[in-house]
């Protein structure tokens, strides 16, 4: 029987399909992941795009959902580095003392890593269930490039646990 793991998956909404693929990959490998991240429905995407949802409302919702998780997993895909909300979520995760793990989506590159992830990552791994779950569990805190080879972290980080 697998251990249930609560995560918040930070991602650019253009990568919603990668969230589904990631949780599916982990479930097929015996991991029980409970994801509290937000995937906007089409009507809400339109409201977000048109600025009809206040930033304070989004921040409150994201904080609540993130506080429930033990780990924040950041999908690193095309244009993730330019997404202000992903950067805000990473900074909030650091403030909340969460483990912060980046995972490259298929096609993600080092150039796609958000600045806050470079600053606060506990680990960054390629698209592999074992690497991801080891990072979430704090085993070896791997730092991988998109192909799975080792790389040095830009900044070391410390994550406090209560």
Lowest mean pLDDT, pick from 24-28, 37-41, 85-89, 129-133: 37-41
Provide the whole-model pTM.
0.81
What residue spans define the domains of the chain? 4-136
Please check the confidence at residue 150 and state whether its pLDDT lies above 70: no
Length of the chain, please? 162
- Which letter does DSSP use for residue 66 in this model? H
| Interatomic CA distance for residues 113 and 110, integer angstroms | 6
Please check the confidence at residue 162 and state whether its pLDDT lies above 60: no
Encode pLDDT of 50-91 as tens digits. Answer: 777 788 988 998 898 898 888 999 999 888 888 888 999 999
Q: What is the dihedral of CA 57, 62, 68, 74, to 10 degrees?
A: 180
Encode pLDDT of 104-135 as tens digits. Answer: 998 888 889 999 999 999 999 989 888 888 88
Please choose, from the candidates 88, 93, 14, the residue with its C-alpha nearest in 3D space to the C-alpha of residue 58: 88
Query: Positive or negative, the Cα torsion across 2, 70, 118, 20?
Result: positive
CATH number for region 4-136 = 3.40.50.9200
């Amino acid at each position: 029987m697998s251990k249930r793991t609560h995560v918040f998956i930070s991602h650019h909404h253009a990568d919603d399909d990668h969230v589904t693929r990631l949780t599916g990959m982990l479930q097929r490998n015996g991991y029980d992941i409970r994801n509290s991240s937000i995937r906007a429905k089409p009507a809400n995407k339109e409201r977000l795009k048109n600025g009809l949802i206040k930033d304070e409302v989004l921040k409150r919702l994201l904080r609540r959902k993130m506080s429930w998780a033990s780990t924040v997993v950041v999908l690193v895909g095309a244009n993730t580095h330019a997404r202000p909300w992903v950067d805000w979520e990473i900074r909030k995760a650091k403030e909340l003392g969460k483990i912060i793990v980046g995972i490259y989506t298929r096609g993600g590159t080092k150039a796609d890593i958000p600045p806050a992830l470079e600053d606060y990552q506990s680990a960054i791994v390629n698209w592999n269930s074992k690497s991801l779950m080891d990072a979430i569990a704090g085993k070896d805190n791997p730092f991988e490039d998109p192909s799975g080879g080792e790389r040095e972290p830009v900044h070391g980080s410390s994550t406090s646990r209560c």
